[in-house]
Chain A
């Protein structure tokens, strides 16, 4: 999402199957009050009205990590970029990294059988994927629930003859 290029046709938002995009229908930000400028992150541009918004995976942090790596003439190390949500999360659920690097933490997590995508059957190829919930595995305990693998379930629900997805029971 390049905010400076956005003219606000809202086509991406209309067509977003996840409906995650949000639009600045009016000017929501106070540009003029001086003391607000101190409050804001100087690395993040303030979006004007008429611009679509979406999670950028903290592009400013990616950019600064890339600059550091380029100065040292090396690749960006795994775990060097920490997104804001990742830094703030008390339960450490997020991982962020290079999907093309098969030794990175995020690549390892993506090979976990609990890993699943949302609406990938529409060929959206989402890069954000999720891990299925993991409950207490001790069968004696009251909060025991067997672990399930949504991606495997989805594959199995696919009819082998027609290739069509059986959506019943979802």
Chain B
């Protein structure tokens, strides 16, 4: 599917509109990102109270109980795995990865949305990201941590793989095989995890300072003080903060694309029919973005209900998050402000995905189904 005729006309006539018409169109295209009567103070109150309010809501305990049970299951199965060997998964010749690689690819994919929302949408000046970027980044960190479990436990001897896969100067003089995509993976994922953590933390500093100023409990005040690094909100602080944030966004943007490309190279570099395919990197990245956005929705819909954040995570946000619901709208979520470059990127992407590479329609359909189910 190429661009619809109507859209083409719209794009063609945009430049002929008067500034007032453009403004109206802009208002129509960009609805309010925050609902209700809010000032800066009420927004800070409402969000800060979640962390500072004494009473822990009941649903929090339910969530923790479920998460605790599942985490115990993970602990139990991992210990059993370490005791018995990976034969307990029932994997066998000739597909030796099976279960762990599925989990690895899936979790890495989930981990993409956080940095995508943070970095790329920041660089593209998409203001709607601010409501959801923090927990999307946190989701990224946990997803990457989960993903990191699987390359380790999938190995036959994880007690050795834990450090032999890293290039460190050892007395044996042995280095890992740098031509192997598995080593590229080690670098890609650890870089991604580090940059994501920094991005999340740097973005968090002014918020931690807000919490520090509002905290009543001296212990929590102390903790927030340490982690907010003496933030006072001066113009110089903000200047440096914005600069650091922008630099980190610049570093993370290529990482969003590189990490899953490298993961896909685990397959694509091999000689196995069905794996040895050049479309794997873009396919993995596209799939990861879908899955990641879906996971953001899974987390954000209960969150906005349970913590009554519907004023901040509005219906508009949910609509933007599921903009990838149609084959030719993959990059629509990035294209909201109608930047010329973005339109170009989108057209190219649509062409590549749907015109030049018609066989990709099938795999994408699955992602569409998954996204729509959410």
Q: CB within 8 Å of B: which residues of A?
A: 5-11, 13-17, 19, 22-27, 48-52, 122, 124
Contacts and interface: CB of A to CB of B under 8 A. Distances in A.
A15 B271 contact: yes
A8 B84 CA distance: 14
Contact of A26 (B84, B95, B158, B272): B84
A19 B92 contact: no
Nearest to A22: B93
A7 B272 contact: no
Contact of A50 (B95, B156, B164): B156
A51 B87 contact: no
B156 A7 contact: yes
B84 A48 contact: no
A5 B96 contact: no
Interface string B61-104: 00000000000000000000000111110011111110000000
B155 A9 contact: yes
B247 interface: no
B270 A15 contact: yes
22 contacts: A5-B174, A7-B156, A7-B157, A7-B160, A8-B86, A8-B161, A9-B182, A11-B182, A13-B94, A14-B272, A15-B271, A19-B94, A23-B93, A23-B96, A23-B156, A24-B85, A25-B87, A26-B84, A49-B87, A49-B157, A50-B157, A124-B271
B212 interface: no
Interface residues of B, number: 28
B165 interface: yes
A24 B96 CA distance: 11
B93 A19 contact: yes
Contacts of A26: 84-85, 87-88
A10 B156 contact: yes
A13 B180 CA distance: 13
Contact of A9 (B85, B154, B271): B154
Contacts of B160: 7
A17 B271 contact: yes
A13 B96 contact: yes
Contacts of A48: 157
Contacts of B164: 5, 7
